[in-house]
Amino acid sequence: MDTNSLLKDQKEKPSLLVEVANLEKQLRTLVHTRGLFYSNVQDLYRKICSGYEKIILNDHRLEELQDIEYSLWKLHYRHIDDFRKRINKISAYGGETETLVTPQSKVAAQRSSDNHVDGFKSFLSEATGFYQNLIFKIRRYYDLPEDFSFHRSGGNSASAEAKKMQKLQFLCHRFLVCLGDLARYREQCERSDTQNHKWSVAVAHYFEATIIWPDSGNPQNQLAVLATYVGDEFLALYHCIRSLAVKDPFPDAWNNLILLFERNRSSHLHYLSSEACFDFLRPSEISVWTEAQSTNDFSNSKPLKAEDEGSRETHLWSLIIRTISFFFIKSSFEDFPCTFASTVKELDVLMALDDATLKAAMESYQRMNSARSGPFRTLQFVSLFIFVIENLINSPDQKDSKGKPEADSVDACPLLPALLVFVEWVVSIIDELERHGSDDKSTSAMSYFFGVFLELLNQFDFNSGEVKPPHSIALWEDYELRGFAPVALSQVALDFTSHWEHRDSFEHGTQYRANRFIDAAMKIATNNRCKWIFYDKSGRRFSVAESNQFQDRKGMAKDGVC
């Protein structure tokens, strides 16, 4: 591009912005004076959208594009807000001008309301088409492949190609969030009598946005909103934390987190047992209950089908929220022991399930998008506790950690992905763990966890007798937690550009997962400050220090060959 063309291009940018701003002022005036259905309003709206499209397809810096994209969404949201206010006003007063409600006025009001609802749906459809077309034009204009979301350049790369890709990924992720919002508003307009709204379109857009730009908290926040729609506060809590624990947190993420905790605290959990207790110095022992057994009876239940997820009552998720709330809301810890014990008891009952039933019980998204299946609650559960522990380390207060038990069939166990995430995260904070976990309760808990961890290592089948090097192929759990800041260090060496079949099922890549477990154990054992497990190279075996006095629940041997 020659100098004259460059100067001309730089002059056109502000002129386009000024033109669009003036057109928006005209649009607002027309909407207030002539109404939403005035033909010039719709023509002007389309002209403004076309102007924004030209600006976005111009060569702007990322910071400029963020402001431009936000202004474009404000244009649409103001229109949405106008429709909502008009519909609500008509519904509230039963007529537009009459003070006395008559049968005729009711009919007129209903007709006017229906017209506005239909107009609202039409506008949402047109806005959806605009954003879809804009994404298509961006990809075509820059000759991008359909799977460009996986070709993420390194964060420190200063190349022109890397900067261009970063801008395009940001824009497409934001447009997908907008598409998700538009789909959500459309669903809210539909007068559905069913409890389970069909949120699948919005969910699909939000998740695609997380894939393209995993460091953004915006789509995670929108998923938290959808979770509240279907009454799943545990899922809402998970996505709320995901919207907070990223490089670019959602602005109100922390307030939303506290709001969720306060809402849970304000509800009466009648299934909390004041008689439940848990001995932190003997974590392997079963909790003592003197009032009643668990509120669930999974052992006598039929296997749960994926489509029936959510139909069986369980109090575990509300109890987990209540337990975690103690670490974020200032209050007395008097109720914490019985809350924690009640939670552990519910967890014990859940862990008694066979793998097939457990897998079904760990589904999360059946009420939002049935196509998204897998034991997501295991990852969510572990992610929540990772977040809690990191928050406690960064804000010194109480310290605690929690492990996960193993299952009979290792390869098919739906708990393994979550446990791998937890173990690899432990590797990344092992020094902090040693520094903070010096009291008796922490020492006992960690001794118990690492002992059970060795039980798990014993169950892996390593025919070669040698520990294989770790593989960099990303697995199902890695794709799901991409962008989650606490586990970012564990994902640095992973390859997200190949073997995409692992993204859709946790059952793929079981051997890679097993190798990563062994690699994590090796790193823990060879850490100079670690005193929990050791590795004997000559005997190719892991063992627990005798000084820890650990004895597992089944009285098994303390060391195992890998």
Q: What's the Cα-to-Cα distance from 163 to each of 155, 168, 187, rounded to whole Å?
A: 10, 9, 36
Residue 382 in contact with residue 418, Cβ under 8 Å?
yes
Cα dihedral 492, 495, 497, 500 sign: negative
Q: Which domains does the chain have, with CATH numbers?
A: 10-191 (1.20.58), 374-562 (no CATH)
Radius of gyration from C-alpha coordinates of the chain:
27
Of 171-175, 258-262, 291-295, 332-336, the poorest mean pLDDT is in 291-295
In which band, very low, low, confident or very high, does the pLDDT at 556 lie, cut at 50, 70 and 90? very low
End-to-end CA distance of the chain: 62
Q: Which of 244, 228, 258, 221 is nearest to 387 (CA)?
A: 244
CA 117/CA 336 separation, integer angstroms? 49
pLDDT of residue 99: 52
Higher pLDDT, 50 or 445: 50
Does residue 428 register a pLDDT over 90? no
What confidence tier does 273 reach under pLDDT thresholds 50, 70, 90?
A: low
Question: H or E stretch including 190?
Answer: none
C-alpha–C-alpha distance, residues 9 and 85, integer Å: 41
Average pLDDT over residues 253-270: 88
pLDDT of residue 505: 83
Distance (Å) of CA 72 to CA 76, 133, 461: 7, 14, 56
Binning pLDDT at 50, 70 and 90, where does residue 515 land?
A: confident
Residue % of the chain over a pLDDT of 90:
29
Residue-level pLDDT at 345: 84
Whether 120 has a pLDDT exceeding 60, the answer reads yes
Has residue 32 got a pLDDT over 60?
A: yes
Does this model's pTM top 0.85? My answer is no
Q: What pLDDT sits at residue 78?
A: 92
Summarize the confidence of residues 137-153 as an average pLDDT. 62
pLDDT digits (tens, 9 = 90+) for 464-473: 444 445 568 8
pLDDT of 40 reads: 86
Please, which pLDDT band fits residue 511 given cuts at 50, 70 and 90? confident
Res. 397: pLDDT tops 70: no
Band (125; pLDDT cuts 50, 70, 90)? very high
C-alpha span between 169 and 149 (Å, rounded): 7
User: Of 269, 242, 267, 263, which is closest to residue 329 (Cα–Cα)?
Assistant: 263
Average pLDDT over the chain reads 77
Lowest-confidence region among 433-447, 489-503, 528-542: 528-542
In sequence order, what DSSP letters do the residues of 531-552 get, joined into one string? -SEEEETTTTEEEE-GGG----
Confidence of residue 222 (pLDDT cuts 50, 70, 90): very high
**β-strand partners of 248:** 216
Which range, of 204-213, 305-314, 460-469, averages the lowest pLDDT?
A: 305-314
What is the mean predicted confidence (pLDDT) over 340-367?
87
How much is the pLDDT for 235? 96
